[in-house]
């Protein structure tokens, strides 16, 4: 993993255990860390609520994080950010730190595990 991909607060695997990067100096050790795969379990930890919709064509799953200002951050069933019916990105988010960084870039708020 490259140091340029990380920010303070990102979750990574450190010796196989999920850890949050506490200091900027820890980012220099990025080569010793592994990324965490983005899974449904992680988005739920971040406070996203799972919704299933049934259509004639089948079932569609979305994950929604309600924000204080009434806006929503929505992921499709592939865990890709959505704007209405359209994916926001041309590439697939694969790792937890990527969604944390995107969320921060769009909202200026940290995406952290909800207690």
Q: pLDDT 10s per residue in the chain (115 long)?
A: 889 999 999 999 988 899 999 998 889 888 889 999 999 999 999 999 999 988 888 888 999 998 767 778 889 888 988 876 666 677 789 999 999 999 999 888 899 898 7
Residue 33 lies in a domain: yes
Residue 112 lies in a domain: no
- Full residue range of the structural domain in which residue 20 is found: 3-106
**Cα torsion angle, 38, 108, 9, 44, sign:** negative
Q: If residue 114 lies in a helix (H) or strand (E), which one and from where to where? A: none
Residue 115 lies in a domain: no
Backbone torsions φ then ψ of 28, nearest 5 degrees:
-60, -20
Residue 27 lies in a domain: yes
**Residue listed under structure tokens 């506490």:** 22
Q: What total number of domains does the chain contain?
A: 1
Buried b / exposed e over 86-112, threshold 16 CB at 10 Å, is eeeeeeebebbbbbbbbbeeeeeeebe
């Amino acid at each position: 993993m490259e140091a340029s991909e990380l920010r303070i607060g990102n979750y990574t695997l450190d010796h196989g255990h999920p850890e949050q990067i506490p200091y900027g100096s820890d980012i220099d050790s990025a080569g010793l860390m592994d990324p965490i795969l983005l899974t449904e379990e992680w988005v739920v930890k971040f406070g996203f609520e799972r919704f299933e919709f049934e259509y004639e064509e089948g079932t569609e799953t979305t994950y929604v994080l309600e924000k204080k200002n009434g806006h929503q951050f929505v992921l499709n069933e592939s865990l890709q950010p959505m704007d209405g019916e359209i994916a926001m990105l041309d590439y697939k988010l694969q790792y937890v730190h990527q969604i944390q960084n995107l969320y921060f870039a769009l909202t200026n708020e940290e995406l952290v595990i909800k207690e």
